[in-house]
Amino acid sequence: MSYENKILQLKKMLGKKKDEKTEKIHFQKPEKPAYTETWMKAGLSVVENDFGLLFKRQIRYPLIYKHGHYQLHHFFQAVEKWERAKLDHPFSIHSNEKVLFFDTETTGLKGVGTHIFIIGLLEVEEKEFVLNQYVLADPANEAAFLFESKLWQRGKTIVTYNGKSFDWPQLEMRWTFHKNLLPKLQSHRQIDLLHSSKRMWKNNLEKMKLTNVEEEKLGFKRNNDIPGFLAPMIYADAVKSGNASSLMKVLHHNEWDLLSLVTLYIHSTKLLLDDNLQDDAQVHTNIGKWYGDLKEQEQSEQILLTVTENFDENDTGLAYFYLALQQKRNKQYDESIQSFQRAIDTIDHRKKLKSFEQLAILYEHQIKDYSKALQYTIRGIELIQEGSFLKEEQKKNQLEHWDKRLQRLKNKNGKYLSIF
């Protein structure tokens, strides 16, 4: 049954009495806002559906359109790379997926009274990218606005920047208010580029705002952009005054957000999959660790080895540390010992303490060199006693833990020496 027929049935049902005490309830489309013609002159088109009216802005981009460092067709090359890589990674997209880059503008950060007033969807098509921006005419027309997004249709991969934590939950909340009218909102696969940016650029970028990532990594700087916090006030003024000129600036802001999602996905894929090193040691070390956390051990070890071979030793301590953990898991004990030893001088105190512990374990249980195990145990205890990186309770617990190893190794060393 088509949605048109379902809506007609729903209207009839709403018009019937639930019982003798209930008055008739009719679904009635809201009236057109008085500023409809003015907003159209500003560059918006009107869309009407069975639930009311909304405004829309559409732009079509050729594949050669360039945003920052990249043309949009590079997205398809990124997808091909993931298909060839055959890695189990949350970032991977396959060519048979229907991809939507998704971003919203809202009247606030949270709460029942917060409305979405722009839904931006940049859709990947075979020969072009199509941007559709839906604008809420007024709260009375919210059902029409949400329905037109077509997010009730199945089978999409949604790419966002903080969408899992913000944009999508906001959409779900607003959809709930109209659940008796609208078709069910589908659960789509989501790729949140904020999460991946934090993984790759931890301790490399001071701020993870999309505008910072654009300037530092994507080669794009916005001109005459409005600050995001002004968007709700601009929308409220446009509804009140009927003047949509400033609202068009908010739409440009949303447009740049969406285009940057495409180029961020392209750039991130290059960092994750290309053999050549394109960023600093910290970034590629973060990527190597990420693959390790995903149990892609071979890829992780390859990246970490590449970092240790191509960057200055002062910048590779962290790579050696994560590499040592991988090598220990792979039972490459001699290599693991060497990597821990090369990491020690340039990593933070917590990782240094873990390195001393792992070296003590390796020498005690795998190499059977109790003297070396004892040396690293003593160094670990000295680090705990001298350092301020642990709270007093943590320090006490750690010293108790390490003292057990110390006593055991002293006994083993005594037995070992008595043989000679």
Q: Please, what's the b/e burial string for 138-163 (b: 16 or more CB within 10 A of its CB; e: otherwise)?
A: beebbbbbbbbbebeeeebbbbbbbb
Cα separation, 400 vs 268, whole angstroms: 44
Q: 251 and 318 share a domain? A: no
User: In degrees, to the nearest 5, what angle opens at C-alpha 229 toward C-alphas 226 and 235?
Assistant: 75
pLDDT tens digit at each of 420 positions of the chain:
454 554 445 445 444 444 434 344 467 889 999 999 999 999 999 999 999 999 999 999 999 999 999 999 999 999 999 999 989 899 999 999 999 999 999 998 776 678 999 999 999 999 999 999 999 999 999 999 999 999 999 889 999 999 999 999 999 999 999 999 999 999 999 999 999 999 999 999 999 999 999 999 999 999 999 998 999 999 999 999 999 999 999 999 999 999 999 999 999 999 999 988 899 999 999 999 999 999 999 999 999 999 999 999 999 999 999 999 999 999 999 999 999 999 999 999 999 999 999 999 999 999 999 999 999 999 999 999 998 899 999 999 999 999 999 999 988 877 654 433
State whether the Cα torsion 336-296-70-118 is positive or negative.
Answer: negative
Q: 387 and 290 share a domain? A: yes
Structure letter (DSSP) for residue 159: E
Cα separation, 143 vs 353, whole angstroms: 57
User: In degrees, to the nearest 5, what angle opens at C-alpha 65 toward C-alphas 60 and 67?
Assistant: 110
Q: 38 and 23 share a domain? A: no
Note the pLDDT of residue 415: 61
Q: 80 and 13 share a domain? A: no
Q: 131 and 21 share a domain? A: no
Q: HSE (CB half, 13 Å, CA atoms) of 235?
A: 23
Among candidate residues 273, 300, 329, the one where a domain is terminated: 273
Question: What is the count of structural domains for the chain?
Answer: 3
CATH at 352: 1.25.40.10
Q: 84 and 221 share a domain? A: yes
Q: 298 and 268 share a domain? A: no
Q: 150 and 5 share a domain? A: no
Q: 163 and 204 share a domain? A: yes
Q: 184 and 93 share a domain? A: yes
Tokens of 382: 């000295």
**Residues in Cβ contact with 387 at an 8 Å cutoff, skipping those fewer than 6 apart:** 349, 353
Domain containing residue 18:
1-30
Among candidate residues 241, 273, 305, the one where a domain is terminated: 273
Q: 324 and 354 share a domain? A: yes
Note the pLDDT of residue 387: 83
CATH at 224: 3.30.420.10
Q: 246 and 349 share a domain? A: no
